[in-house]
Chains A and B, each alone.
Chain A
Amino acid sequence: MMSKKFVVSSSPHLRSPDSIRSIMIDVLIALFPVVLMSVLLFGYRALITIILSALAAMATEALALRRGNFFGDGSAAVTGLLLALTLPVAPPWWLVIIGAVSAIVVGKLVYGGTGCNIFNPALVGRAILVISWGSHMAGDVWLCPEPYAFTADLVTSATPLATGQAPLLDLFLGTVPGALGETSALAILIGAFWLFYKGHICWRIPGSFIGVVFLLGLTQGGITAGLWHVLAGGVMLGAFFMATDMVTSPYTPAGKVIYGAGCGLITMVIRLFGNYPEGVTFAILLMNALTPLIDNYTVPKKFGEVKRNHA
């Protein structure tokens, strides 16, 4: 029976079949319903924006790393896609390209590339665009969707967050003005379900993020207001796809809850007291900055460890 030799090898002994590439492809699959919904709602120009942003991000990374493989590990494609989903339907083409290039360069490559970045690259790109070209990124630039009509004749208006008007069902389905990927909670939930199923995200960050937004929303007028704050704006997209970025969020269980709750708190503070109508971008970026600190303070107790007596 013991004819086989023992295999002696150094740690790590537990290996996962996951690679960066396979996880990124799963994220791309998860984003598919969101992309599909935005094209259905906003028409072909949404698709142009999304493709332009993803191609610009991939081209930037391939060029900067002098890499022949255009797709690479897929993280640039995810970054470009996520950036596009936070943009208005038809921004000027240069805005999309500058956003994608700065997301990859300033958001990721200057820190040393995939896995080394402090901030979520897509949100860095978005923040740069919001600060630099506010008139293209806020106010009456959001198209009112005309579901399933592939037309260019859409009316622009402010998002429900600015106007305060929108029925909850419309917010859930996504038939309200807003950024490409943020309006449809339904599509986001379908995509997020795939990520849960594959085990790439857990409930802690989105749960605490959305929970805190809901609780603080309650103070603005009961359950309807709570649900409204969760469904309107970018909370759903941010909570499931941005805040859960593996590189820039804490990896301890308790840390994830603190991080998500912090995101929710800052989002609501910016929404209720700030100058910007929406605060998800800056909330997640600020909590990204705190991630190393949170990880440091929430190291889990090792099994069998005894609390040290400070005598």
Chain B
Amino acid sequence: MKPKIIGAVILAAVAAVAGIVMLFTDSTQVTALNGYLGGEKIGLFEDEEIAEYIKKTYHITFDYSRAGSLDMVTADLSGRNYLFPSSQTALEYYNEVHGSAKADEIVFNTPIVLYSHKIVADALEKQGIVSQTDGVYYADMEKLTTLILDEKQWSDIGLSQLYGSVCVDTTDPARSNSGNMFAALLANSLNGGKTVDESTISAVLPKLKEIFSRTGYMETSSSDLFNQFLRMGVGAKPIIAGYESQILEYAAENPAAYEKIKDDVVVIYPSPTVWSTHIYIALDDNGKSGIEALVDKEVQRLAWEKHGFRTGDYSSANGKIAVSGIPENVTAVMNMPSYNVMKKIIDELS
């Protein structure tokens, strides 16, 4: 009997040790990834439910520094495992500067929208620049662009409460993606509503430059611009360009605060608009493991429901949302200009 007892004790001891080892390896196996993140995705990366799920399922944690989608390409990349900008342009820029990315993947989509206030939307509607279909506001981009280019004053469109000329505030188009994509939309509008290409871009550039030269200081982060829009009132930011996901996330995270502003804040879809594709770029092998985690079905579901990013499987067609004026599908979409054309736009505006 004796040896058996000893055997059982040894077995228990071994099992205990093995258990301890397993516990240890379980926690040490978590890989902390570090990279640059576009400001509009910070809410998602700070979401504890998502972070916990990714840590448990993929043994990854994401740490980040905020940077504009174009800025991050030329930032110091030492010690970074990934970039997570908001456009194809940023990826192509990366490939040009650093050579082909280790791996990349489109993770989320969200259309570029305009955020405005009720009094401004009403005034624009009277001018026939904005119209409503099924409770969704759409802006005629060519008409809006003309209004801006002609330096029409707010008072010219019946808004004597506002001082200055009609403009859309954006982030810096040479540094941040939402501003960059809005510049592309303006360029397309100046080109008669057709996507600008190598043969048409040079005719458009002077006018585009003129519009942006009047705007002065521009934020480099879409999240800062959106926060200022919410905080500083219609006089400060009558219209801004941003991502659809921003208001959806705000409403999901701050339902009480959203309730207070929902009658004033208006989401306007440029018609046509462009898709912002949030593209994950892996800088090394560790960084690559982030892709699998981000395209996980559960993460994609939470990204839509809590942060407003449309994905292949989730959009407003399947899942209730608290924000009114959001269409089930965004169908009036045009292509972004090619990278070479975008480069010309960036060069002209920087």
Q: Do A and B bind each other?
A: no
